[in-house]
């Protein structure tokens, strides 16, 4: 048998699994933050009106960048869930 006790191996395995989950979540967040804005998306895909570049659908959905009520929005395709572009509201001067 192994010279490392079972409880320590179990704890190491749990930490490794949590590390993998957090790494996947972090990559998804980086992908969301690196999306172009609407003008950049339209220019890159040679479009005049926003539509999905993967399935050519015009029905889009939006969600908050960090949570549901976040003003910074991620626009994605309603049909295939491809993330398309981000929308940042204009800065309000007080």
Q: How confident is the model at residue 84 (pLDDT cuts 50, 70, 90)?
A: very high
Give me the residue label for tokens 């172009």: 36
Q: Residue 70: what pLDDT?
A: 80
Question: What digits encode the pLDDT tens for the residues 30-70?
Answer: 998 899 998 999 999 898 888 888 898 889 998 888 777 88
For residue 30 the two structure tokens come to: 């980086």
Q: Residue 62: what pLDDT?
A: 87
Which pTM was predicted?
A: 0.70
Does position 92 have pLDDT exceeding 90, yes or no? Answer: no
The secondary structure element, H or E, covering residue 87 is strand 83-87
């Amino acid at each position: 048998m192994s010279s490392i006790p079972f409880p320590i191996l179990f704890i190491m395995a749990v930490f490794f699994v949590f590390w993998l989950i957090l790494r996947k979540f972090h990559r998804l967040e980086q992908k969301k933050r690196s999306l172009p804005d609407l003008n950049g998306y339209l220019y890159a895909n040679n479009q005049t009106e926003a539509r999905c570049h993967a399935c050519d659908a015009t029905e889009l959905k939006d969600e908050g960048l960090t949570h549901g009520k976040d003003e910074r929005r991620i626009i994605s395709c309603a049909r295939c869930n491809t993330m398309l572009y981000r929308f940042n509201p204009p800065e309000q001067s007080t």
